[in-house]
Amino acid sequence: MSLIDLSKQVALGVDIGGTNTKYGLVNHRGEMLGKGRLKTDAFGNAEDFIDALYEQAIPLINKHCPQKQFDGIGVGAPNANYYTGTIEQAPNLRWKGVIPFAAMMSEKFGVPCKMTNDANAAALGEMMFGAARGMKDFIMMTLGTGVGSGIITNGQLIYGHDGFAGELGHTIVKPGGRKHWSTGSEGSLEAYASATGIAITAKKMRAEFPDSMLNKYPEEAINSKVVHDCAIAGDPTAIEVFRYTGQKLGEALANFVMFSSPEAILLFGGVIRAGDFILKPTKLHMERNLLPIFRNKVKLVFSELDEADAAILGASALVW
Amino acid sequence: MSLIDLSKQVALGVDIGGTNTKYGLVNHRGEMLGKGRLKTDAFGNAEDFIDALYEQAIPLINKHCPQKQFDGIGVGAPNANYYTGTIEQAPNLRWKGVIPFAAMMSEKFGVPCKMTNDANAAALGEMMFGAARGMKDFIMMTLGTGVGSGIITNGQLIYGHDGFAGELGHTIVKPGGRKHWSTGSEGSLEAYASATGIAITAKKMRAEFPDSMLNKYPEEAINSKVVHDCAIAGDPTAIEVFRYTGQKLGEALANFVMFSSPEAILLFGGVIRAGDFILKPTKLHMERNLLPIFRNKVKLVFSELDEADAAILGASALVW
Residue B305 pLDDT: 81
Q: What is the arithmetic mean of pLDDT over B1-9?
A: 58
- Helix B224-232 × helix B236-260 angle, to 10°: 120
Instruction: Tell me the DSSP string of A283-311.
Output: HHHHHHTS-GGGTTTSEEEE--S-HHHHH
* Strand bridging mode B20-27 / B10-16: antiparallel
Q: Is A244 on the interface with B (CB under 8 A)?
A: no
Q: In B164-320, which ranges are continuous DSSP H helix?
A: 189-193, 195-208, 224-232, 236-260, 276-288, 307-317
Q: pLDDT means per 10 residues in chain A (320 residues)?
A: 61 92 90 93 96 96 81 92 91 89 96 92 89 94 92 95 94 96 95 98 98 97 97 98 98 98 95 95 97 94 81 89
Task: List for chain B the helix, strand, coil content (%; round to 5).
Answer: 45, 20, 35
Cα dist. B65→A132, B9, B35, B311 in Å?
A: 48, 8, 14, 22
Q: Is the pLDDT of residue B4 over 60?
A: no
Sort out which chain B residues have CB atoms less than 8 A from A259's CB and list them: 151, 158, 165-168, 171, 256, 259-260
Q: How far is A40 from chain B (nearest CA, A)?
A: 22
Reported pTM: 0.89
Distance from CA of B261 to the nearest CA of A (A): 5
| Interface contact B262-A160, CB threshold 8 A | yes
Q: Is B160 on the interface with A (CB under 8 A)?
A: yes
Work out the percent of chain B whose per-residue pLDDT is above 90: 77
CB < 8 Å to B292, chain A: 89, 183
- pLDDT interval class at B227 (50, 70, 90): very high
| Secondary element (H or E) of residue A252 | helix A236-260
Which residues in chain B have their CB less than 8 angstroms from residue A252's CB? Answer: none
Give pLDDT, residue B6. 57
CATH of domain A134-304: 3.30.420.40
Extended strands (E) in chain B: 10-16, 20-27, 32-39, 70-77, 87-88, 98-99, 113-117, 138-143, 147-153, 156-157, 264-268, 299-302
The predicted pLDDT at position A7 comes to 57
CB contact under 8 A, A161 and B262: yes
Half-sphere exposure of A93 (CA within 13 A, CB side): 24
Contact residues, chain A, for B162 at CB < 8 Å? 261, 263, 297
At residue A68, the pLDDT reads 61
Residue from the list B135, B168, B175 with its beta carbon closest to the beta carbon of A259: B168
Angle at A286 between CA A203 and CA B198, to 5 degrees: 100
Contacts of residue A318, defined as CB under 8 A and 6 or more positions apart, other chains included, come to A74, A75, A114, A115, A116, A121, A124
Predicted confidence (pLDDT) at residue B53 exceeds the cutoff of 70: yes
Query: Which is it for the CA torsion B122, B128, B130, B135, positive or negative?
Result: positive
pLDDT band at residue B308, thresholds of 50, 70 and 90? low
Q: Do A6-125+308-317 and A134-304 share a fold?
A: yes
CB pair distance less than 8 Å for B168 and A263: no
User: In Å, how far from its chain's centre is CA B157?
Assistant: 15
Q: CA B311, B316, B319, B320 torsion: positive or negative?
A: negative
Q: Which helix (H) or strand (E) holds B123?
A: helix B118-129
List the 173-192 stretch of B: residues with Cβ below 8 A of A: 173-175, 183, 185
Strand ordering across the sheet containing A147-153 = A156-157, A147-153, A138-143, A264-268, A299-302
Q: Would you call A164 and B89 a contact, using CB atoms and an 8 Å cutoff?
A: no
Q: CA A302 to CA A279: how far, in whole Å?
A: 9
Mean pLDDT along residues B54-81: 89
B163 and A261: CB-CB below 8 Å?
yes
Instruction: Tell me which chain B residues have a C-beta less than 8 angstroms from the C-beta of A153.
Output: 153, 158, 160, 165
The pLDDT assigned to B1 comes to: 42
Q: Please, where are the H alpha helices in A26-91?
A: 46-64
Contacts of B50 (CB under 8 A, 6+ apart): B104, B105, B108
Burial of A107 (0-12, 13-18, 19+ CB in 10 A): exposed
Residue of B nearest to A287 (CA): B185
Q: Is the pLDDT of residue B314 over 80?
A: yes
Query: Does A162 sit within 8 Å of B251, measured CB to CB?
Result: no
ipTM of the complex: 0.88
Segment A65-91, tens digit of pLDDT: 876 689 899 999 988 999 999 998 887
User: For B17, how many CA atoms within 13 A lie in the half-sphere containing its CB?
Assistant: 24
**Contact between chains at A162 and B260 (C-beta distance less than 8 A):** no
Instruction: Name residues 42-101 of chain A within 8 A of B (Cβ).
Output: 79, 88-89, 91
Residue B161: pLDDT over 90: yes
Region label for B94, one of left (φ > 0), alpha (ψ between -120 and 50) or beta (otherwise): alpha
Identify from B87, B161, B168, B299 which residue to disrupt to test chain A contact, counting A C-beta atoms within 10 A and taking the largest count.
B161
Task: Quote the pLDDT of residue A65.
Answer: 80
Rounded Cα gap, residues B72 and B11, in angstroms: 5
DSSP B273: G
Q: Are B291 and A185 an interchain contact pair (Cβ–Cβ within 8 Å)?
A: yes
Check whether B88 has a pLDDT greater than 70.
yes
Q: Does the distance separating the beta carbons of A167 and B258 come in below 8 Å?
A: yes
Average pLDDT over residues B1-14: 71
Picking from B29, B24, B28, the residue whose alpha carbon sits closest to that of residue B12 is: B24
**B89–A171 CB contact, under 8 Å:** no
B133-303 has which CATH code?
A: 3.30.420.40
Say which CATH superfamily domain A6-125+308-317 falls into: ATPase, nucleotide binding domain (3.30.420.40)
Mean pLDDT calculated for residue range B38-52: 96
Give domain limits for chain A.
6-125+308-317, 134-304
Interface residue of A147, A293, A295, A297 to substitute, partner B, most B CBs within 10 Å: A293
Which residues in chain B have their CB less than 8 angstroms from residue A84's CB?
A: none
Residue type, position B36, single letter: G
Q: What percent of chain B has pLDDT over 70?
A: 96
